[in-house]
Chains A and B, each alone.
Chain A
Amino acid sequence: MSQDVVRLWVYLSATPLLWLFATLIAYVLADIFARATGRHPLANPILVAMIPLAALLWFTKTPYTTYFEGAQFVHFMLGPATVAIAVPLAAEFKRMRRLAVPILVALFAGSLTAIVSAVGIAWLFGAPHVVLASLAPKSVTTPIAMGIAALVGGLPSLTATMVVVTGILTGVIALPLTRLLRVHDHAAHGFASGLAGHGIGTARAFHDSQVAGTFAGLALALNGLLTAVLVPLVMKLVP
């Protein structure tokens, strides 16, 4: 009996089906929970769903590569989903053109703040150069961030982890923080979410409203480009 269970587990744990299903069911349940809380920022579905999944991998000693064979089907959809941000961008084009000046000024201010404050705080704590270089691009989407980190002497895998942590943190704090600052404008709140927290911040902003999500998507793209230019300049100033 127990041997049958072991055999069944050996079979299932090696197929993409099990881990694809685990990813979907964890998200579906986390999303139901998030809706039940009225999309409370702390009930972030990524944060809520990743904990049981990570625990399951840890308890069953399943390597991440085995998990990813199933999860890759979900991961793959990130590409077309990024392209799809074009649709609300086009729909909101008039509003964006009208707000072109605040968009560009906030972009430069926010992008520089994200880079300089991350490097500055870690430097004050005495972090070595490799950590500073890995931290500098932490607010931009993973592929751009990893490319920048490699260019300025950081560790791309460390950067990827920091990018995800930053995104989840942004998803959790962006709405309460902008409310605390009395910024109720969806465009401003969305733009800040996407600038500080790339795609994960954008995902949260789309839960808030279409306008917030669209401005987050715009910030994600613009900040990715600007950060690639600014990080090498800022890193030259680090002693």
Chain B
Amino acid sequence: MLQAFTILLGFQLAGEVLVRVLHVGIPGPVVGMTMLAIGCIASVRLRKMCEAAATMLLGNLSLLFLPAAVGIVQFLPLLQKQGLAIGAAILGSTVLAIAVTALVFRFVVHHMKLEDRE
């Protein structure tokens, strides 16, 4: 577990260093994730090493968003001024984005006959 956690932090650190050196607007952890994904595809051993820690972290991913979610309370007055416009935009756009993504995904899978046969 400690080994795995060190690997995860190492890839995050490498990602943070890389985005700062290359001046790209991508978060360091996303770059770290991409690099570790390539590493885990290339080496099953690396993947097995990280597996338990990844399962633990991802199984409790909701918890990790709680501090940021509590933080929105201090910004709620900001939302109130344009409350109706913002509320309608977020609700309408979220419904549309989920529906369009899921339907297009299913349509292309169906059209190309890519359904799971397992």
A positions within 8 Å CB-CB of B: 23-24, 26-27, 31, 44-47, 49-50, 53-54, 57-58, 64, 67-68, 71-72, 74-75, 77-91, 93, 98-99, 101-103, 105-107, 109-110, 113-114, 117-119, 121-122, 125-128, 131, 135, 138-139, 141-144, 147-148, 151, 155, 157-158, 160-162, 164-171, 173-174, 177-178, 181, 183, 185, 187-189, 191-193, 195-197, 199-200, 202-204, 206-207, 213, 217, 219, 221, 224-225, 228
Q: Do the beta carbons of A192 and B102 come within 8 Å of each other?
A: yes
CA distance A71 to B69 in the complex (A): 11
Q: Which of chain A's residues has its CB closest to B11's CB?
A: A83
Q: For A219, what are the chain B residues with a Cβ–Cβ distance below 8 Å?
A: 101
In this complex, how many residues of chain B approach chain A with their Cβ under 8 Å: the count is 76
B95 → A minimal CB distance (Å): 7
Q: Which 6 A-B pairs have the closest CB atoms?
A: A110-B101, A90-B40, A125-B85, A71-B67, A86-B36, A82-B29
CA distance A142 to B72 in the complex (A): 12
Q: Do the beta carbons of A191 and B105 come within 8 Å of each other?
A: yes
Out of A142, A165, A171, A224, which one reaches B90, CB within 8 Å? Answer: A165
Q: Which of chain B's residues has its CB closest to A94's CB?
A: B41
Q: Which of chain B's residues has its CB closest to A188's CB?
A: B105
Q: For B15, what are the chain A residues with a Cβ–Cβ distance below 8 Å?
A: 83
Name the residue among A88, A106, A126, A174 with the largest chain B CB count within 10 angstroms: A106
Q: Is the interface of B mostly helix, strand, loop or mixed?
A: helix
Q: Do the beta carbons of B85 and A144 come within 8 Å of each other?
A: no
- Given A83-B15, A141-B30: A121 in contact with B73 (beta carbons within 8 A): no
Q: Which of chain B's residues has its CB closest to A90's CB?
A: B40
Q: Do the beta carbons of B109 and A87 come within 8 Å of each other?
A: no
Q: Do the beta carbons of B86 and A181 come within 8 Å of each other?
A: no
Between A and B, 14 residue pairs with Cβ closer than 8 Å are A46-B69, A47-B69, A74-B63, A80-B8, A83-B32, A86-B11, A87-B36, A90-B39, A113-B97, A114-B93, A161-B78, A183-B102, A185-B109, A188-B101
Beyond the given A89-B40, A121-B89, please list 20 additional residue pairs across the A-B interface where CB-CB is below 8 A.
A46-B69, A64-B74, A68-B67, A75-B64, A78-B65, A80-B5, A82-B32, A82-B33, A83-B8, A84-B53, A85-B54, A99-B109, A109-B100, A113-B101, A117-B96, A139-B94, A158-B78, A162-B86, A183-B105, A221-B33
